[in-house]
Amino acid sequence: MGTVLIGTSGYSYHEWVGPVYPEGMKASEYLTYYSTLFPAVELNFSYYRMPEQVQIRHILEESQNRLMFSVKAHESLTHRVDSAIWQEEAATFCHALEPMAANGRLGAILLQFPFSFHYEADQRRYLDRLLKTLKDFPVAVEFRNSQWFNNRVIEGFRERNICLVSLDMPSLKGLPPVLDVVTAPFAYLRIHGRNGNTWWGSDGAERYNYLYNDQELQSFVDRIRLLLTHAERVFVFFNNHRRGQAVQNGQSLVALLKKAGLPCGT
């Protein structure tokens, strides 16, 4: 049986001072403290600004070599794709992550595609070319549109050892189903909250403002147990980051997994 690595989507939130980080803690100290709470983290800044090697090395130092990282791909590869330059952008992105990969701390590159990324010929061709460009790295793909959840995609990902991200989010028309299939040596579960009323709103922070109750958290135990039967490692990241709710839910899930006798990394 593999290992479960739980963490949060992002860690550098000033509103976590108090609920998570001690009062008075500087932002430069957040990651070192975070590394005492969880074994993995999903880096989000890399979506908004292209990472650089010097920055990645600094992150590795701050984490004291304790963390496994998932790094979200820059928006130029998933949301604002320019056909003339995306290959150059992908090369820049991969170059930045080389120190993390060489250090054995890169768990995955996360390609998070928007709802508007449809299962159509042009998008399929682009994804094929992008995955070939990233072939030297572990890759996890999150689709926000249910069209992609079909046997052709699943089998294609298995052939390439690309991870199809499992999701928990509101049950709304067009959004992905609850589907836990292992298509790579590792599995990946992203937990976004179930705020159906605010999901399509313009306030992204409010979309993820959700605290899972104990019964809802318990439902993840069986899902993770299933993933563990086929995966060497299961990443679980909570994206309900408002007011530190992701940390609260992540720590509660660790306790539930341990109680169930499942191997949870520290």
Residue type at 121 in one-letter notation: A
Q: Could you tell me if 142 and 165 are in contact, meaning their C-beta atoms sit under 8 angstroms apart? A: yes
pLDDT by residue (tens digit) across 210-224? 999 999 999 999 999
Which pLDDT belongs to residue 119? 98
- For residues 189 and 236, is the Cβ–Cβ distance under 8 A? yes
pTM (two decimals)? 0.97
Are the C-beta atoms of 253 and 25 separated by less than 8 Å?
no
Tens of pLDDT, residues 94-138: 999 999 999 999 999 999 999 999 999 999 999 999 999 999 999
CB-based contacts of 84-90 (< 8 A; 24+ apart in sequence): 86/126, 86/130, 87/133, 89/50, 90/130, 90/133, 90/134
Confidence of residue 265 (pLDDT cuts 50, 70, 90): confident
Boundaries of every domain in the chain: 3-259
The answer to whether 87 and 41 have CB atoms below 8 angstroms apart is no
Helix 86-102 crosses helix 53-62 at what angle (to 10 degrees)? 30
Read off the amino acid at residue 12.
Answer: S
Structure tokens at 96: 């930045």
Give the span between the Cα atoms of 217 and 155, in whole angstroms.
30
The phi-psi region of residue 248 (left if phi > 0; otherwise alpha if psi is between -120 and 50; otherwise beta) is alpha
Please provide the size of the chain in residues. 266
Q: What is the pLDDT of residues 192-212, one digit of tens each?
A: 999 999 999 867 778 999 999
Segment 141-192, tens digit of pLDDT: 999 999 999 999 999 999 999 999 999 999 999 999 999 999 999 999 999 9
CATH superfamily of 3-259: Protein of unknown function UPF0759 (3.20.20.410)
CA-wise closest residue to 150 among 114, 185, 177: 177
Give the residues across from 139 on adjacent strands: 109
